[in-house]
Amino acid sequence: MSEGGFGKRRRRRGGGGTGPVGNQGQGQQQQQQHHGGNNNNHQGGGQQHHHQHQQQHQPQQHHTPASQQQQQQGGVSPPTMVQPAVPARDASKVFPMAPYVPVSNLTIQQQLREQLLAQPEKKGTTVVASAKFSHFLTISNLESEPAPSSLDPEYSSQVYHTTNRYSGKQVVLRRLVDPKISPDTCTAVFESLRHFRHPNLVPLDGVIWTTDFVLGHNDVIAEYRFHRGAKTLLSAFFGSPDQQQPPTQEVTEALLWSIACQLAGLIRTFHDAGVPLRGLHLTKILYLPVGQRVLFAGAGLKDLMSGGPAPKDSIEKSQRADVISLGLLLLKLATRNPTCISLEPLQKLTTVSPVLLHFITTCVDGTVKIEDLCRGLGERMSMEVGHQLGTADFLMQECAKEVHNGRLMKLLMKLNFAFAADISPDPEMIALRLLFQYLFHQVDENGAPRTDWGHVFFALNKLDTRSPDVVQLMSENDGTLLVISFADLRTLLDRAAASLVQKPDVSAPSQSMGTGVSGGSRTPGSMA
């Protein structure tokens, strides 16, 4: 993406440039030489500049020691290779050579964007007329109908997706259909788990006992946070039960170690608080491809189905069951069999290392506590920390590409609100109209529209930062030549935008500053 490449304007003839007025022609010529055309030439231009940069800054090569040695031996010394010094930059050049910035550097990777914006497959909607759920928008079904729960077949459950009207956050509702659960049990389970937070836990945000969600049913609704792009381990690594959707991920030993470290840390957090996790299952653990994160999304479900939180006299037994559940989960993933509960198929595999085999066997036996497992995972834990930190750095770098987009979007909205489409005699509005044409109505020598993102991006940055650089603007008939700084243009823009939100004087006839794109009336709002 180049900084300039200013040509003629669509429907408005003339050119423009930035810098001192006396050097406009020189600046435009140098700009065409160094900053190319539209954004399709960025890669080639960047390689050319990089090559020139290497030639200019290549260190001088001196062969004096080698020549002296050859002269002593009676040979002919080669010529000394001395490159000329790099000349100082001419201050009169208003468009110095600048590195190319590809458009891809301004947005996150498309694959990552698709994962972050992925929407779940919805299977109809559920209409809830009760005011108790009025804070939810449209409630969509992620499961077409209630089905027996994988934790306890005596209970039926169904999953929904919706958005909180007041916070804007997307949530997942898990409904237990006609369970034998009292309202006091729901309150006890929620109070025992509402404070738990962990990177590998989907927090439990609420448990509601209600008869108003689906008429004619006494339901329990558990509310969790929604994670975009997440799939259950069952669907991600084994596909859907009807085989309509094949598995999207492959199971490797490195992935198994990563899952073991993440879930062991989660279990350790619960056990240190004296609370068993309960409910580890392929259908209750979410998998995020970004960073290979796993999240436990079934907090409180087993407690609800068991009549409440685990009694104190059975906490040790429940914690032992957590370790066994971890081993069975890894066993099913390692053998690629979601129903496997025997170690014999695992022992026959040649793709599993003896260390991983011993770890899974120890978990399934249930003879050690989670503290001992975490100590045994010490080396793997350090590797997992490095992997997650590397992923965090990658995501930070990708997010940094978008850090200025919100600022520029606000500036574009303000510019469009203040843009006057009609012919107004106000000099300030004429300047803003010419600026708008200068930004978006450039054409090349053949009259084709120019989509040079670099020109728009750098011009908006100068406008936003109130740069003292001047820009030359021309009217469509070349009858008006305006030389003005970006700082003055920003002042005019702020003044025009502020006038839009002022209360009109009803005693005087209103004078429109311009019409919007749709031609409708303006609604006062914040123009900050």
Residues 126 and 192 in one domain: yes
Report the pLDDT value the prediction gives residue 92, as an integer from 0 to 100. 45
Report the pLDDT value the prediction gives residue 187, as an integer from 0 to 100. 95
Residues 302 and 408 in one domain: no
Residues 185 and 206 in one domain: yes
Report the pLDDT value the prediction gives residue 445, as an integer from 0 to 100. 82
Residues 292 and 340 in one domain: yes
Report the pLDDT value the prediction gives residue 243, as an integer from 0 to 100. 57
Residues 273 and 383 in one domain: yes
Residues 253 and 374 in one domain: yes
CATH number at residue 20: 1.10.287.3700
Is 95 a member of any domain?
A: no
C-alpha dihedral over 30, 33, 36, 37, to 10 degrees?
80
Q: How many CB atoms lie within 10 A of CB 195?
A: 9
Report the pLDDT value the prediction gives residue 105, as an integer from 0 to 100. 73
Using DSSP, state whether 349 is helix, strand or coil: coil
Place of tokens 């972050």: 116
Residues 437 and 345 in one domain: no
Domain residue limits at 466: 1-42+404-516+524-528
Residues facing 286 on adjacent strands: 232, 295
List, for residues 40-75, the tens digit of each pLDDT value.
Answer: 444 443 444 444 444 444 444 444 444 444 444 444
List, for residues 438-490, the tens digit of each pLDDT value.
Answer: 888 877 888 888 888 878 888 888 899 899 999 888 877 767 788 999 999 99
CA pair distance 66, 80, nearest whole angstrom? 10
* Boundary of a domain, candidates 399, 432, 453: 399
Residues 383 and 460 in one domain: no
Is 295 a member of any domain?
A: yes
Is 385 a member of any domain?
A: yes
Is 60 a member of any domain?
A: no
Of 452, 470, 474, nearest in space to 462 by CA: 470
Is 313 a member of any domain?
A: yes
Report the pLDDT value the prediction gives residue 507, as an integer from 0 to 100. 54
Report the pLDDT value the prediction gives residue 481, as an integer from 0 to 100. 84
Residues in CB range of 430: below 8 A, 6 or more apart: 424, 475, 480, 482
Using DSSP, state whether 209 is helix, strand or coil: strand
Is 289 a member of any domain?
A: yes
Residues 238 and 319 in one domain: yes
265-268 long-range Cβ contacts below 8 angstroms, 24+ apart: 265/198, 265/200, 265/374, 265/381, 266/198, 266/200, 266/201, 266/296, 267/322, 267/323, 267/326, 267/370, 268/370, 268/371, 268/374
Compute CA 301 distance to the chain's CA centroid, rounded to the nearest angstrom: 30
Is 131 a member of any domain?
A: yes
Report the pLDDT value the prediction gives residue 155, as an integer from 0 to 100. 95
Report the pLDDT value the prediction gives residue 76, as an integer from 0 to 100. 42
Kindly give the parts of the chain with pLDDT less than 50.
1-15, 18-84, 86, 89-99, 421, 508-525
CA pair distance 305, 179, nearest whole angstrom? 8
Domain count, the chain: 2
Would the CA dihedral through 463, 467, 468, 473 be positive or negative?
Answer: negative
CA pair distance 149, 141, nearest whole angstrom? 16
* Boundary of a domain, candidates 376, 399, 422: 399
* Boundary of a domain, candidates 399, 419, 450: 399
Residues 395 and 409 in one domain: no
Residue 290's Cβ-count burial label (10 Å; 0-12, 13-18, 19+) is middle
- Percentage of residues in the chain having pLDDT higher than 70: 73
Is 84 a member of any domain?
A: no
Residues 511 and 420 in one domain: yes
Of 503, 409, 350, nearest in space to 107 by CA: 409
CATH number at residue 332: 1.10.510.10
Report the pLDDT value the prediction gives residue 29, as an integer from 0 to 100. 37
Residues 412 and 379 in one domain: no
